[in-house]
A and B are shown apart, each in its own frame.
Chain A
Amino acid sequence: NAGVTQTPKFQVLKTGQSMTLQCAQDMNHEYMSWYRQDPGMGLRLIHYSVGAGITDQGEVPNGYNVSRSTTEDFPLRLLSAAPSQTSVYFCASSPGGSSYNEQFFGPGTRLTVL
């Protein structure tokens, strides 16, 4: 099993550009989520999905869109990048939505917005 994979590993954007961060998992997990990690702050939830076709907002959803057409994939779209979106983005998956279920994190995407 590859676990949770994310692409790209690094990305530099200009303000106003759009892009999609890719996330895939091969563990047949129902629950997937996106976090951002900023220096000196804890991980913050952006969006999550409890299954294919079902998504919901997390703590900091503004400026991001998600969709879940398959169990395996959960892409994160930046509509119009802003410098405030410079961060490290982690995708995670777990067998269920309960906090008792261990979340498996991808390696992260480091995004810089100029």
Chain B
Amino acid sequence: KNQVEQSPQSLIILEGKNCTLQCNYTVSPFSNLRWYKQDTGRGPVSLTIMTFSENTKSNGRYTATLDADTKQSSLHITASQLSDSASYICVVSDRGSTLGRLYFGRGTQLTVWP
């Protein structure tokens, strides 16, 4: 069964600290993996997208990694800020075409305290 599991479910860190969020998937075939940030009361916003051949991709203080062999991805946030408080959602696609289906994780709720 195609699934996307994220951990931890929630996380609290102090401002300025680093953190890493995990995403494990069983989706097959695999096309790409995207991380979204969703602020409270807002729609998700894309942070990064990675295909099979990409191991690492950065977007400012956000760095995503992908291990397609173990079907794991992580999102590392460096020097966290209060504005990083949000839900982070991992999304895996099984095809790159219009026929592709998106599998959404349940998200990790990150809270950054001052």
Which chain B residue shows the least CB distance to A31?
A: B98
Instruction: Tell me how many residue pairs across A and B have CB atoms closer than 8 Å.
Output: 55
Given A99-B31, A99-B100, A105 contacting B105 (CB threshold 8 A): no
Are the CB atoms of B89 and A43 closer together than 8 Å?
yes
Chain B positions within 8 Å of A108 at CB level: 41-43
- Total number of B residues with any Cβ neighbor in A under 8 Å: 26
What 13 new A-B contacts, CB under 8 Å, besides A45-B101, A105-B44, A108-B43? A31-B98, A42-B103, A43-B89, A50-B98, A97-B97, A99-B31, A99-B34, A100-B49, A105-B43, A105-B45, A107-B41, A107-B43, A108-B41
Given A42-B107, A108-B41, A100 contacting B89 (CB threshold 8 A): no
Given A42-B106, A42-B107, A98 contacting B46 (CB threshold 8 A): no
- Total number of A residues with any Cβ neighbor in B under 8 Å: 22
